[in-house]
Amino acid sequence: MAITWILAALTTGLVGSLHCVGMCGPLAMALPVGRLPVARRGLGIGLYHLARVSAYAGIGLVVGSVGQGLLLLNLQRPVSIGAGLFLVVWTMAARGKFGSLSGRLPSRWLVGSMARFLHEPSLRAFAALGLLNGLLPCGFVYVALAGAVVTGNVGQGALYMILFGAGTVPALLAVRSIPALFPVGLRQRFVRVIPLTTLALGVLLVVRGVYVAPPASPDQPPIPLCHGKTTPAK
């Protein structure tokens, strides 16, 4: 994976951390950590975040396979442009209020399962809560998936989502350990950066689609365009 996409995935996760604090922070605070033996508390929190990031990776595998199929059909270029335009239009329409992009919970079983595991002080419950949390509808996950699909590769799609998930971990750890680090005023200032980052990713995807030519064969990597001309494949 190119360094540009590594930085894009990490930046999306890091900047979206405060969004995650608002959306997923209450769940992190509700984890029954205090009911675990002291020696297992760190392991429980670690399992929660590992399972959450693993859920993102699974979604990335699916989205990456879709992107790979589009690449084989030489549709990666319009998909990249379309995904970028989608992020730009979506952000402007929502006016940066990504909470409005999260939607409702998909089904009762998900809500009921999470509620049941919240009352179960076990390592299994922490892992299950992390996995279910990773499946919750979230506006910023959708933003990350737009980047994952244009990687055009199953493994890279999963890696993109892993990096995104890893970028969200520090804030979620901090909001539980040191809640005073996230006062309302600080959240309001950082919230202004979230739509700017999403717009930047959207522009990056559009530029990628415009200036990167589709491959001539499935085994050949995309060929950069130079001065508006496509370099012929040999």
HEC-encoded secondary structure of 94-157: HCCCHHHHCCCCCCHHHHHHHHHHHCCCCHHHHHHHHHHHHCCCCHHHHHHHHHHHCCCCHHHH
Residue with the larger pLDDT of the pair 234 and 58: 58
**What pLDDT sits at residue 228?**
43
- Boundaries of every domain in the chain: 3-230
Work out the burial of residue 66: count CB atoms within 10 Å of its CB; fewer than 13 is exposed, 13-18 middle, 19 or more buried: middle
> Quick one: pLDDT band at residue 212, thresholds 50, 70, 90?
low
CA distance readout (Å), 86 to 74, 98, 101, 146, 168: 20, 14, 13, 9, 23
At residue 24, does pLDDT exceed 70? no
pLDDT for 200: 86
Q: Could you read off the pLDDT of 104-127 as tens digits, one per residue?
A: 445 566 777 888 888 888 899 999
Asked if pLDDT for residue 184 goes beyond 70, the answer is no
Neighbouring C-alpha atoms within 13 Å toward the C-beta of 68: 14
Of the candidates 144, 146, 9, the residue with the CA atom closest to the CA atom of residue 80 = 146
Instruction: Give the dihedral of Cα atoms 130, 134, 140, 141; nearest 10 deg.
Output: 150
pLDDT of the residue at 225: 37
Question: In the chain, pLDDT over 90 holds for what percent of residues?
Answer: 22
pLDDT digits (tens, 9 = 90+) for 40-62: 889 999 999 999 999 999 999 99
Widest Cα–Cα separation across the chain: 64
Query: Is residue 164 within 8 Å of 9, Cβ to Cβ?
Result: yes
| Length of the chain measured in residues | 234
What global pTM score does this model have?
A: 0.77
Flag whether pLDDT at 153 surpasses 50.
yes
Is the predicted pLDDT of residue 232 greater than 50, yes or no? Answer: no
Q: What mean pLDDT do residues 148-164 have?
A: 92
User: What is the Cα 142 distance to its own chain's centre?
Assistant: 7
